[in-house]
């Protein structure tokens, strides 16, 4: 698979050469304890077999290697050039590399867009122009390099590399925008846990190749089982979506530590790599939507990635816990409960067998407290009994026994078709049992909370993967051909010189064309037309002033509800127009909507906004002020499937209860709401760049079997500031 990709794609061919170079030129090589010196020293002390060409105009040899004075002096084109010189000289060096026929380059030098200055941004733009014109592919700038651990190629300027790094070569690919993190704590943490990487890549500013490019390469390498990523910001959101979908297709998880949850973190990430951290709410939704496993710190990144390397897919979500300590087991069970894991009661047969072994000691329950039996010859029978319980899908062992216990757990993890996870409760300084467990087939965690979160992520990933892959047919079919006039109207939005904001009536016409139910209504230009419309629709009706200049009608006095007679209509019609003209004297009034009155089980807000990185994003929340007051909202990147819509509904606080018929109220039409959300998302994708935002508020959910209906709607054309999703009326 990898060979085919490398041979057919120049980008992957360049990455392959970077990670498997047969020759490396180091521009800025030195023997001093600087970046250039560390880069050469790391290659030498880790046993790199590639031919090395130090380049320094002031030296004849470096670390006893012949030194060249310039790139043109190289005897031949090299596979990889490392650029480690002051920023003002980098571009000239890269042009020389391109002219010499160098196949790829890694720019360690800083001084580009991360500076936040015009000079730095201009320098990075020029580097990108060079890549475009020459085809030379570049990792960096402002990075620490990369490594092929399995092949002992440490083309990196990190300061913490040891001679035994290859001892922990494994099947995890690590991509880190931060070089100091990737070649610092992420190596140290992995070494402490005896977790092995195959590749380590720091991408820095990503002026050319991005984190997603390297991740895509690794996902197609049969020797990689999991890709771990530390990302400060996505240069291309759409490319990351493609990467996540590729990961699902090849069945290899992406475990991601994403910087930028807080405003402070976002600001710091931007100053570091000049990347857009983006909306964390949107990104979190996307990760759930694409089965990307998001973690919270370095330890979780390493331990969770290692879990996915080792743990077998679970067949269900029921967790068993066994420990030598009732206190440890109870605390772990508590942490499991915090993340929503189910610890069911053991079967009668399992309890009976455990009691036979334990006698008067311990507790034959879940969690199981097996006291000292965890450390003696009785433990294999205990563990086998628990693994044989058909009511358990995952088994967690929390202990710190000896080598015999480690062997028992490893054998069970190897032979059993259920995932077996170990929580180590002893010291990191243990040099006998702990290494046996770390090198064995059972993933190891070191804190109860992280262990519980790890198991939760294992279950969630496999459930999401199954759901997403089963949705493929729906995803392929959603591009059904909608009425041509509807698509034409969308196309006209971008070129329409007037009407920055589409009024409610026009917005509903667009929505209706995509199958979104809207109210029966009529746009009237005088009172006589209003009488006729009301008679046709039937009282009571609502009156609304239609104006592209009045997006928030309630504040302008442009709404009258529950009008029950022609006399009341006449009075309210004139009164409403006077109020609007007084409050909004410059507003262009297109007419008055006479609209049916509809009420529902729940009134929601559904909207679309455009994320600068991921495109149209759908939001669902409780209507009115509740969406802001209690944060009752859920988000997904468009398009969504029906299962996505159902998950969104479940994520909105209190909505599922409302729709189920809370306290004797009628239940809502859940299926109609699901269908409506899918159609809104389809419209958003069809609209492409023509629509900046869409707001349906309220979206009324009617009693079961009666559907949903958009009571109000507002579309803002692209090229203009999108409205904040909120109350139109």
Quick: pLDDT tens for 290-306. 999 999 999 999 999 99
The mean pLDDT value for 325-344 works out to 97
Residue 323: strand, helix, or coil: strand
The structure tokens 């997006």 sit at 551
Three-state secondary structure call for residue 620:
strand
Residue with tokens 């009172």: 527
> What is the rounded average pLDDT of the residues 312-339?
97
**How do residues 385-426 score in pLDDT, each as one tens digit?**
999 999 999 999 999 999 999 999 999 999 999 999 999 999
- Angle CA(453)–CA(457)–CA(463) in degrees, nearest 5? 145
Per-state percent for the chain, helix, strand, coil, to nearest 5: 45, 20, 35
What b/e readout covers 111-135, taking b as 16+ CB neighbours within 10 angstroms?
Answer: bbbbbeeeebeebbeebeebbeeee
pLDDT score at 513 = 86
Strands, DSSP E only, in 101-225?
Answer: 104-107, 137-139, 145-148, 153-156, 172-176, 197-202
Lowest mean pLDDT among 323-327, 481-485, 666-670: 481-485
Query: Each residue of 708-724: pLDDT tens digit?
Result: 999 999 888 876 544 33
**The pLDDT of residue 21:** 98
pLDDT in tens, 456-505: 999 999 999 999 988 876 665 655 555 566 656 666 555 554 447 788 89
Distances from the Cα of 467 to the Cα of 6, 164, 248, 461, 646, angstroms: 31, 42, 11, 10, 12
pLDDT number for residue 91: 98
pLDDT above 50 (res 277): no
Please check the confidence at residue 118 and state whether its pLDDT lies above 90.
yes
**Average pLDDT of the residues in 122-133:** 97
Least confident of 7-11, 34-38, 143-147, 419-423: 7-11
Instruction: Give per-residue pLDDT as tens, 501-559.
Output: 788 898 998 899 889 999 999 999 999 999 999 999 999 999 999 988 887 888 899 99
pTM metric for this prediction: 0.91
Q: Which domains does the chain have, with CATH numbers?
A: 2-307 (3.40.50.261), 312-470 (3.40.50.261), 475-517+600-729 (3.30.470.20), 520-597 (3.30.1490.20)
20-40 pLDDT tens trace: 999 999 999 999 989 999 999
List the structure tokens of 480.
Answer: 């059904």
Nearest to 102 by CA among 48, 25, 29, 43: 25
Q: What is the pLDDT, as a whole number, of residue 313?
A: 97
Which among 162, 155, 248, 239 has a CA at the least distance from the CA of 200? 155
Looking at residue 628, its pLDDT comes to: 57
Q: What percent of the chain has pLDDT over 90?
A: 77
- pLDDT of 382 reads 97
pLDDT value at residue 104: 98
User: What is the rounded average pLDDT for all residues in the chain?
Assistant: 90
What secondary structure letter does DSSP report for 22?
Answer: S
pLDDT of 269 > 50? The answer is no
Q: Is the pLDDT of residue 286 over 80?
A: yes
Which residues lie below 8 Å from residue 659, measured CB to CB, with a gap of 6+?
601, 602, 649, 667, 668, 670, 673, 701
Task: Report pLDDT for 500.
Answer: 72
In angstroms and rounded to an integer, the radius of gyration of the C-alpha atoms of the chain is 31
**Dist. CA 359–CA 220, nearest whole Å:** 53
Q: What is the pLDDT of residue 626?
A: 57
Which pLDDT score, from 0 to 100, does residue 721 have?
A: 47
103-112, 221-230, 352-361, 720-729: the lowest-pLDDT one? 720-729
Q: Is the pLDDT of residue 4 over 90?
A: no
Longest dimension (CA), the chain: 101
Does 562 score more than 80 pLDDT?
yes
Hey, what are 261's tokens? Answer: 């949850």
Distance, in Å, from the CA atom of 592 to the CA atom of 148, rounded to the nearest integer, reads 69
Confidence of residue 165 (pLDDT cuts 50, 70, 90): low
Distance CA(419)–CA(406), nearest Å, equals: 16
Distance CA 521, CA 536 (A): 10
Any idea which of 34-48, 271-285, 370-384 has the lowest mean pLDDT?
271-285
Residues 655-662, mean pLDDT to the nearest whole number: 89
DSSP 8-class letter at 72: G
């Amino acid at each position: 698979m990898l060979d085919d990709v490398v041979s057919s794609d120049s980008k992957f061919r360049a990455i392959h050469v970077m990670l498997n170079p047969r020759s490396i030129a180091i521009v800025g090589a030195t023997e001093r304890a600087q970046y250039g010196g560390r880069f050469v020293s790391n290659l030498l002390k880790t046993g790199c077999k590639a031919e090395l060409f130090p380049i320094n105009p002031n030296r004849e040899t470096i670390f006893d290697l012949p030194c060249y004075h310039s790139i043109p002096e190289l005897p031949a084109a090299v596979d990889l050039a490392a650029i480690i010189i002051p920023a003002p000289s980098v571009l000239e060096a890269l042009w020389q590399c391109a002219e010499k026929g160098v196949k790829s380059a890694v720019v360690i030098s800083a001084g580009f867009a991360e500076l936040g200055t015009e000079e730095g941004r201009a320098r990075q733009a020029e580097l990108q122009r060079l890549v475009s014109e020459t085809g030379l592919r570049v990792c960096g700038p402002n990075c620490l390099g990369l490594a092929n651990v399995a092949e002992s190629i440490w083309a990196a300027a990190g300061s913490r590399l040891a001679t035994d790094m290859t001892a922990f070569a494994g099947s995890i690919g690590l991509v880190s925008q931060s070089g100091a993190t990737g070649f610092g704590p992420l190596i140290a943490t992995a070494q402490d846990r005896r977790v092995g990487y195959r590749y380590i890549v720091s991408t820095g500013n990503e002026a050319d190749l991005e984190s997603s490019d390297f991740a895509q390469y690794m996902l197609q390498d049969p020797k990689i089982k999991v890709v771990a990523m530390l990302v400060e910001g996505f240069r291309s959101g759409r490319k990351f979506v493609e990467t996540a979908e590729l990961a699902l297709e090849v069945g290899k998880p992406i475990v991601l530590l994403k910087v930028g949850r807080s405003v402070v973190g976002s600001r710091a990430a931007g100053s570091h790599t000049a990347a857009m951290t983006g909306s964390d709410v949107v990104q979190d939704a996307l990760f759930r939507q694409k089965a990307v496993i998001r973690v919270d710190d370095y330890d979780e990144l390493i331990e969770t990635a290692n879990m996915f390397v080792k743990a077998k897919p679970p067949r269900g979500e029921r967790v068993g816990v066994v420990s030598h300590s009732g206190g440890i087991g109870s605390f772990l069970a508590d942490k499991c409960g915090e993340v929503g894991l189910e610890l069911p009661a053991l079967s009668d047969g399992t309890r009976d067998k455990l009691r036979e072994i334990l006698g008067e000691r311990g507790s034959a329950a879940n969690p199981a407290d097996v006291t000292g039996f965890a450390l003696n010859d009785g433990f294999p029978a205990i563990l086998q009994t628990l693994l044989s319980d058909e009511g358990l899908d995952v088994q967690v062992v929390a202990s710190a026994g000896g080598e015999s216990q480690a062997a028992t757990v490893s054998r069970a993890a190897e032979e059993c078709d259920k995932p077996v996870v170990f929580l180590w409760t002893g010291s990191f300084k243990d040099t006998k049992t702990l290494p046996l467990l770390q090198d064995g087939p059972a993933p190891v965690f070191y804190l109860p909370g992280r262990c519980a979160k790890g198991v939760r992520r294992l279950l969630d990933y496999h459930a999401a993967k199954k759901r997403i892959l089963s949705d493929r047919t729906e995803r392929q079919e959603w591009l059904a051909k909608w009425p041509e006039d509807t698509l034409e109207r969308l196309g006209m939005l971008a070129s329409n010189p007037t009407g920055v904001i589409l009024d409610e009536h026009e917005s509903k016409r667009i929505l209706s064309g995509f199958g979104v139910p809207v109210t029966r209504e009529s746009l009237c230009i005088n009172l006589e037309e209003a009488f006729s419309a009301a008679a046709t629709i039937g009282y009571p009706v609502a009156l609304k002033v239609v104006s592209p200049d009045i997006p928030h009608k309630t504040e302008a006095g442009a709404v009258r509800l529950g009008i029950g007679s022609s006399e009341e209509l006449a009075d309210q019609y004139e009164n409403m127009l006077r109020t609007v003209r007084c409050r909004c004297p410059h507003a262009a009034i297109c007419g008055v909507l006479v609209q049916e009155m509809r009420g529902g089980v729940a009134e929601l807000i559904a909207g679309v906004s455009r994320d600068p990185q991921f495109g149209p994003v759908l939001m669902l929340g409780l209507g009115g002020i509740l969406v802001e007051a209690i944060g009752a909202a859920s988000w997904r990147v468009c398009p969504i499937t029906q299962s996505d819509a159902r998950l969104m509904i479940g994520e909105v606080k209190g909505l599922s209860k409302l729709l189920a018929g809370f306290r004797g109220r009628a239940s809502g039409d859940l299926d109609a709401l699901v269908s409506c959300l899918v159609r809104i998302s389809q419209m958003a994708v069809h609209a492409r760049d023509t629509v900046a935002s869409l707001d349906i508020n309220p979206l009324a959910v009617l009693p079961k079997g009666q559907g949903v209906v958009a009571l109000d709607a507002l579309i803002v054309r692209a090229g203009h500031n999108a409205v904040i999703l909120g109350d139109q009326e």
